[in-house]
Amino acid sequence: MLTSLPADWREEMLAEIRRLIVLADPEMVEERKWMKPTNPAGVPVWSHGGIVCTGETYKQVVKVTFMRGASLADPHGLFNSSLEGNARRAIDLREGETLNPTAFKALIKAAVAENLRSADSKGKPSPKTKAGGAAAKPVKLLSGGNPQIAKGDGDAPVQAYIAAMPGWKSDLGKRLDALIVRAVPKVRKAVKWNSPLYGVEEGVWFLGIHCFAKYIKVAFFRGAALRPIPPGESKQKDVRYLNLREDDVLDEVQFLAWVKQASQIPGERM
């Protein structure tokens, strides 16, 4: 059992959060981590297939942080904090506020499912492609952690690339892919030269994605024509980059605007 906090509204709030988490997932593991002199009791952590969420207490709020919150659907709008990160999302609860139990339990279940999906795609061999056939080999990571994916057209090789992106990059890759599809619903996809490519005409591309050790590079092949111009410079006069690191804030509104603009400009034939 977790050590009790001082008896106040925050303890009651954490107790209700704990109750809902266990109702949503009876197999959840509960512990405390990150003890330090200024916080000897540590932080409550709930895990299943990896950390699902944490519960932190502050003077004015109780904060529930979902490690993969950016990958979760939140139709009830529970997330109200840490909204700009590429991975985490949080719920800040103040004294007197109540938590929608149905919506919160749905978030917990979705977060567990996301952890298990991610662990399955990265930690296990791919299923056999044919009855009696050999299992597919694990995806090789090239220099900088970029997945080596066979050249191919369509969504499948792009999703294989995203699933093989290491660590936080896979979640961000899913987010970027979803935003591109939202901006251009009929977008064409392919993987060439170990990079996902996006276009509107066959063989003509307006955007590419590539993994590096510490960031993801989004290349706009006619980026110099976009407004405002994406910040990353290139040796090629027409190309501009958007480099995204783990803790960077992705401006989704601006990214969607760039993608829409880029899709309307003649792309790069490759």
CATH class entry, domain 9-116: alpha beta
H or E stretch at 15: helix 9-24
Highest mean pLDDT of the ranges 74-78, 167-171, 236-240: 236-240
**How large is the angle between the packed helices 168-183 and 101-123, nearest 10 degrees?**
110
| pLDDT tens sequence across 181-190 | 999 999 999 9
Record: fold of 143-269 = Aspartate Aminotransferase, domain 1 (3.90.1150)
Do the domains spanning 9-116 and 143-269 agree at the CATH topology level?
A: yes
**Share above pLDDT 90 across residues of the chain, in percent, rounded to a whole number:** 71
The mean pLDDT of 74-78, rounded to a whole number, is 91
Q: Quick check: 234 pLDDT over 60?
A: yes
150's CB contacts (< 8 A; 6+ apart) are 157, 191
User: Predicted confidence band at 117 (pLDDT cuts at 50, 70, 90)?
Assistant: confident
**Spans of all domains in the chain:** 9-116, 143-269
pLDDT of 160: 93
Q: Rounded distance, CA 196 to CA 189, Å?
A: 7
pLDDT of 130: 44
